[in-house]
């Protein structure tokens, strides 16, 4: 078992206890080290209690991600494999320099700072706060604090400690191993694993900040009324945590320009392809024809978690066809569930609060859309056009799909390797009667450990990619602007150019011991669908 609680005050072993990791490419977007350095930031701008002192220890560590087949340039003992999930037979990858900046931040968010943080949203594992104070260093940022489940029998949703088997999986990535010691795994996993697939310009690891127990206790009390009741019942802020992540608010632009509103959407796109794995049993072959999303919707409806199935078809959104992307966005508007939200100037104006799964009442939808029009100045068709054009043009979903497709064995294949990695007898093979299939599974079981590790690692990276959210924010480009750091799209109907940025959020590593859960859930979803088929009255317009 893992020990997930690190008692307050007990510092993890580390050479740089206050180290923060950065990637060079993100310096412009992250709260950058310069922010705290001599370059103009007035200490008086910072919240009273959290004035970080900048003794910036900057050390540029060259990490040579190269193929094991390529001759090692230096130490013969260097057994580092190339970047996770990378094509191992590929030519030596180009030299990449990872710069690590470590920064001492003396400040701690204290009781008196709590009033500046309000509820923004939450998922199963984290609660997100937005900053309302006036310190320039925190403006436009969110704080992501860990939660604990009230039901103690449930496993901790976010565990920051590697089991010995996880050490096998991720141990070849020095930054991850180090981050575990420093309790900033979420940050390091986003920056060093997920960004390889999603692109460093779409991933923001954030900065770790220390928080006092009093700060967390006060925040917990202050946000209580804003949280959905079922979330309050299920979880609360982990007041034992001694740090939280400070991340740019990706429903806002930094340095908002006067006069124009920022419109942002959050899309939980879910799995965008149909699996083709040869390890999928005949009984489950429906998986190759019907999306996981649709089948899961049926189970959720049956279990009373949703009052109506969604019209959203992930294959439309990922299709690279503008027409089908538009269809997907229309389905989000009519049945947003927890897959779609709209923010204006950082405030939620459409979609479920607190990660709620149920639909917006259709009567309310019209009202929300009217409001959207009022606050953003965009009619719904224009908004749909702007969003579909951006998704089409940015190619950002293509990146997400690549990461998702690392799962090429399907859980029905990967589960066998999980049992080998954890040295457990395979409880799936025990049950298989199909000789041909059993032969395939036996072959999987005879793979060498490094192959098994790669398959399970890729499965877990894919699991994160299937579960994360994409935030895209827009603002009208001021006429005359030519040199913007942001990409833009031209909205023909409104004769207006919009700047946009796209960031993935919730890129946490999935625990290895979730594999059995994934397998059982998959069986449950597929069994329910094959037994009941399309029993739920299909929402109109849904053809998937
Ligand atoms: N950087 C950010 N900027 C703006 N909003 C954010 C940011 N990060 C998170 N959010 C909001 O907070 C919500 C919850 O955050 P997040 O998905 O990280 O929580 P989680 O508990 O890890 O989720 P899950 O239930 O998937 O584990 C998001 O859906 C999003 O609306
Ligand atoms: C890996 O790279 C080699 C050489 O570039 C290529 O032939 C092969 O198809 C690639 N394999 C995968 C899985 O991408
Ligand atoms: C509250 O949580 C408990 C378990 O933690 C659960 O049994 C109960 O059904 C929940 N109640 C509501 C109203 O969600
Ligand atoms: C959003 O913020 C901008 C800049 O501060 C402001 O001009 C605009 O009126 C705001 N929009 C809404 C709907 O509040
Ligand atoms: C993998 O698991 C199978 C079945 O449990 C077992 O027979 C086999 O010896 C294991 N292989 C390795 C390499 O550990
Ligand atoms: C094995 O099959 C039986 C009957 O089909 C089923 O009840 C049981 O849950 C299965 N066990 C596993 C581990 O899948
Ligand atoms: Zn097996």
Q: Is 274 in the pocket of ligand 2 (CB under 6 A)?
A: no
Q: Are residues 193 and 268 in the same domain?
A: no
Q: Are residues 183 and 36 in the same domain?
A: yes
Report the pLDDT value the prediction gives residue 393, as an integer from 0 to 100.
95
Q: Is the per-residue pLDDT at 368 higher than 70? A: yes
Q: Are residues 211 and 271 in the same domain?
A: no
Which residue is associated with the tokens 């510092």?
A: 11
Rounded mean pLDDT, 18-42? 31
What is the tens place of the pLDDT at every residue in 387-412?
A: 999 999 999 999 999 999 999 999 99
Q: Is 532 in the pocket of ligand 6 (CB under 6 A)?
A: no
Ligand lying closest to the C-alpha of residue 228 = 3
Q: Are residues 105 and 206 in the same domain?
A: yes
70, 84, 87: residue to mutate for ligand 2 pocket, most atoms within 8 A of CB: 87
Distance of alpha carbon 375 from alpha carbon 354, whole angstroms: 22
**Residue with more model confidence, 2 or 517:** 517
Q: Read out DSSP for 271-323?
A: --S----TTS-GGGGGGGTS-HHHHHHHHHHHTTS-SS-----HHHHTS--HH
Where does the pLDDT of residue 362 fall: very low under 50, low under 70, confident under 90, or very high at 90 and above? low
Q: Are residues 361 and 218 in the same domain?
A: no
Q: Are residues 152 and 276 in the same domain?
A: no
B/e letters for 51-74, b = 16+ CB within 10 Å, e = fewer, are bbebebeeeeeebbbbbeeeeeee
Ligand 3 atom with the shortest distance to the CA of 150: 5
Number of Cβ within a 10 Å radius of residue 482: 5
Where does the pLDDT of residue 136 fall: very low under 50, low under 70, confident under 90, or very high at 90 and above? confident
Report the pLDDT value the prediction gives residue 75, as an integer from 0 to 100.
35
Q: Is 276 in the pocket of ligand 2 (CB under 6 A)?
A: no
Segments in 322-448 forming alpha helices (H): 322-334, 362-376, 380-394, 396-404, 411-421, 435-445
**Residue with more model confidence, 371 or 323:** 323
Number of Cβ within a 10 Å radius of residue 77: 6
Q: Are residues 353 and 295 in the same domain?
A: yes
The closest alpha carbon to 65, from 26, 94, 87, 88, belongs to 94
Rounded mean pLDDT, 241-269? 89
Domain end: 213, 248, 283, which one? Answer: 248
Q: Is 420 in the pocket of ligand 5 (CB under 6 A)?
A: yes
Q: Is the per-residue pLDDT at 52 higher than 50? A: no
Rounded mean pLDDT, 62-81? 31
Where does the pLDDT of residue 429 fall: very low under 50, low under 70, confident under 90, or very high at 90 and above? very high
Report the pLDDT value the prediction gives residue 164, as an integer from 0 to 100.
86
Ligand lying closest to the C-alpha of residue 471 = 1
Domain end: 248, 272, 296, which one? Answer: 248
Specify if 104 maps to a domain. Answer: yes
Specify if 445 maps to a domain. Answer: no
Ligand 1 atom with the shortest distance to the CA of 248: 1
| Helices and strands in the chain, H and E counts | 17, 15
Which residue is associated with the tokens 């009324």?
A: 225
**Residue with more model confidence, 361 or 70:** 361
**Residue with more model confidence, 55 or 266:** 266
Range of the domain at 383: 263-394+469-509+520-532
Specify if 156 maps to a domain. Answer: yes
Q: Are residues 139 and 99 in the same domain?
A: yes
Specify if 187 maps to a domain. Answer: yes
Look at residue 488 and give its three-state secondary structure.
strand
Domain end: 225, 248, 271, which one? Answer: 248
Burial of 451 (0-12, 13-18, 19+ CB in 10 A): middle
**Residue with more model confidence, 175 or 87:** 175
Report the pLDDT value the prediction gives residue 296, as an integer from 0 to 100.
97
Q: Is the per-residue pLDDT at 454 higher than 70? A: yes
Report the pLDDT value the prediction gives residue 38, as an integer from 0 to 100.
29
Report the pLDDT value the prediction gives residue 342, as an integer from 0 to 100.
93
Distance of alpha carbon 236 from alpha carbon 151, whole angstroms: 11
Distance of alpha carbon 415 from alpha carbon 428, whole angstroms: 8
Specify if 339 maps to a domain. Answer: yes
Q: Are residues 208 and 352 in the same domain?
A: no
Q: Is 345 in the pocket of ligand 4 (CB under 6 A)?
A: yes
Query: Mean pLDDT of all residues in the chain?
Result: 79
Report the pLDDT value the prediction gives residue 537, as an integer from 0 to 100.
53
Report the pLDDT value the prediction gives residue 357, as an integer from 0 to 100.
61
Ligand lying closest to the C-alpha of residue 152 = 3
Look at residue 59 and give its three-state secondary structure.
strand
* Cα–ligand 6 centroid distance for 432 (angstroms): 9
* Cα–ligand 2 centroid distance for 166 (angstroms): 27
Residue whose Cα lies nearest atom 26 of ligand 1: it is 123
Ligand lying closest to the C-alpha of residue 257 = 4
Q: Strand 141-149 and strand 126-131: pairing?
A: antiparallel
Which residue is associated with the tokens 């001021």?
A: 478
* Cα–ligand 7 centroid distance for 424 (angstroms): 10
Q: Are residues 243 and 274 in the same domain?
A: no
Beta bridge partners of 344: 263, 347
445, 447, 452: residue to mutate for ligand 5 pocket, most atoms within 8 A of CB: 445
Where does the pLDDT of residue 24 fall: very low under 50, low under 70, confident under 90, or very high at 90 and above? very low
Q: Are residues 225 and 285 in the same domain?
A: no
What is the tens place of the pLDDT at every residue in 480-535?
A: 777 788 999 999 998 999 999 999 999 999 999 999 999 999 999 999 999 997 75
- Eight-state DSSP code of residue 245: E
Contact between 92 and 205 (Cβ < 8 Å): no
* Cα–ligand 1 centroid distance for 74 (angstroms): 42
Beta bridge partners of 340: 267
Report the pLDDT value the prediction gives residue 458, as an integer from 0 to 100.
98
Distance of alpha carbon 268 from alpha carbon 126, whole angstroms: 16
Ligand 1 atom with the shortest distance to the CA of 264: 4
Q: Is 479 in the pocket of ligand 2 (CB under 6 A)?
A: no
Q: Is the per-residue pLDDT at 109 higher than 80? A: yes
The first and second tokens of residue 32, run together, are 């950058």
Q: Is the per-residue pLDDT at 89 higher than 70? A: no
Distance of alpha carbon 453 from alpha carbon 213, whole angstroms: 39
Q: Is the per-residue pLDDT at 123 higher than 60? A: yes
Rounded mean pLDDT, 248-257? 84
- Looking up residue 108, the CATH number of its domain turns out to be 3.30.200.110
Where does the pLDDT of residue 115 fall: very low under 50, low under 70, confident under 90, or very high at 90 and above? very high
Q: In this predicted structure, which of 158-162, 229-233, 532-536 has the lowest mean pLDDT?
A: 158-162
Rounded mean pLDDT, 101-114? 67
Ligand 6 atom with the shortest distance to the CA of 523: 14
Specify if 308 maps to a domain. Answer: yes
Where does the pLDDT of residue 137 fall: very low under 50, low under 70, confident under 90, or very high at 90 and above? confident
B/e letters for 267-291, b = 16+ CB within 10 Å, e = fewer, are bbbbbbeebeeebbbeebeebeebb
Ligand lying closest to the C-alpha of residue 431 = 6
Rounded mean pLDDT, 194-204? 97
Specify if 146 maps to a domain. Answer: yes
Specify if 292 maps to a domain. Answer: yes
Q: Is the per-residue pLDDT at 155 higher than 50? A: yes
B/e letters for 355-393, b = 16+ CB within 10 Å, e = fewer, are bbeebbeeeebeebbeebeeebebeeebbbbbbbbbbbe
446, 451, 453, 456: residue to mutate for ligand 5 pocket, most atoms within 8 A of CB: 446
The closest alpha carbon to 313, from 196, 283, 297, 163, belongs to 297
Q: Is the per-residue pLDDT at 4 higher than 50? A: no
**Looking only at Cα atoms, what is the longest distance across the chain?**
72
* Cα–ligand 5 centroid distance for 420 (angstroms): 6
Q: How many domains does the chain have?
A: 2
Rounded mean pLDDT, 346-362? 75
Q: Is the per-residue pLDDT at 104 higher than 60? A: no
Q: Is the per-residue pLDDT at 101 higher than 50? A: no
Q: In this predicted structure, which of 111-120, 146-155, 300-309 has the lowest mean pLDDT?
A: 146-155
How far apart, in Å, are the Cα atoms of 361 and each of 287, 313, 433?
31, 20, 47
What is the tens place of the pLDDT at every residue in 313-348?
A: 999 999 999 999 999 999 999 899 999 999 999 999
Q: Are residues 219 and 279 in the same domain?
A: no
Which residue is associated with the tokens 């068709």?
A: 381
């Amino acid at each position: 078992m893992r020990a997930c609680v690190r008692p307050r005050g007990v510092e993890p072993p580390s050479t740089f206890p206050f180290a923060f990791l950065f990637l060079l490419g993100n310096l412009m977007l992250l709260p950058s080290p310069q922010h705290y350095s001599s370059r103009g930031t007035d200490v008086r701008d910072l919240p009273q209690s959290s004035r970080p002192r900048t003794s910036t220890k900057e050390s540029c560590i060259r990490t040579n991600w190269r193929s094991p087949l390529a001759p090692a340039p230096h130490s013969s003992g260097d057994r580092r494999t190339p970047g996770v999930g990378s094509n191992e037979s590929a030519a030596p990858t180009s030299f990449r320099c990872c710069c690590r900046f470590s920064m001492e931040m003396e400040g701690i968010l204290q009781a008196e700072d709590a009033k500046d943080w309000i509820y923004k949203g939450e998922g199963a594992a984290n609660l997100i706060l937005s900053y309302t104070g006036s310190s320039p260093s925190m403006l436009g940022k969110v704080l992501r604090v860990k939660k604990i489940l009230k039901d103690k029998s449930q496993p901790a949703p976010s565990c920051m400690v590697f089991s010995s088997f996880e050490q096998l999986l991720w141990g070849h990535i020095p930054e991850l191993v180090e981050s575990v010691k420093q309790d900033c795994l979420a940050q390091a996993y986003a920056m060093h694993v997920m960004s390889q697939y999603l692109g460093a310009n779409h991933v923001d690891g954030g900065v770790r900040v220390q928080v006092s127990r009093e700060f967390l206790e006060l925040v917990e009390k202050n946000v209580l009324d804003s949280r959905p009741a079922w979330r309050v019942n299920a979880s609360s802020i982990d007041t034992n945590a001694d740090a939280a992540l400070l991340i740019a608010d990706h429903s806002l632009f930094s340095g908002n320009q006067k006069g124009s509103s920022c419109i942002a959407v959050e899309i939980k796109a879910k799995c965008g392809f149909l699996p083709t794995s040869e390890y999928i049993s005949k009984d489950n072959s429906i998986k190759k024809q019907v999306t996981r999303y649709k089948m899961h919707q049926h189970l959720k409806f049956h279990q009373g978690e949703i009052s109506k199935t969604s019209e959203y078809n992930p294959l439309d959104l990922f299709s690279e066809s503008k027409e089908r992307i538009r269809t997907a966005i229309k389905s989000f508007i009519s049945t947003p569930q927890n897959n779609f939200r709209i923010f204006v100037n950082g405030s939620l104006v459409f979609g479920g609060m607190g990660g709620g799964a149920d639909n917006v009442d259709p009567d309310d939808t019209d009202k929300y859309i009217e409001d959207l029009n009022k606050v953003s100045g965009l009619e719904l068709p224009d908004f749909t056009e702007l969003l579909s054009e951006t998704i089409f043009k940015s190619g950002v979903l293509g990146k997400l799909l690549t990461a998702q497709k690392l799962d090429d064995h399907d859980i029905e294949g990967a589960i066998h390797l999980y049992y080998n990695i954890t040295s457990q007898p395979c409880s799936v093979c025990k049950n298989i009667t199909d000789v041909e299939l059993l032969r395939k599974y036996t072959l999987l079981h005879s793979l060498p450990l490094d192959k098994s590790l790669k398959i399970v690692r890729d499965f877990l990276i894919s699991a994160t990619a299937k579960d994360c959210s994409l935030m895209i924010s827009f603002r009208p480009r001021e006429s005359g602007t030519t040199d913007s750091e942001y990409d833009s799209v031209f909205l023909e109907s409104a004769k207006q150019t919009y700047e946009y940025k796209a960031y993935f959020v919730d890129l946490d590593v999935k625990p290895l011991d979730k594999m059995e859960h994934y397998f059982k859930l998959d069986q449950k979803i597929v069994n329910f669908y094959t037994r009941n088929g399309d029993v739920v009255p299909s929402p109109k317009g849904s053809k998937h």
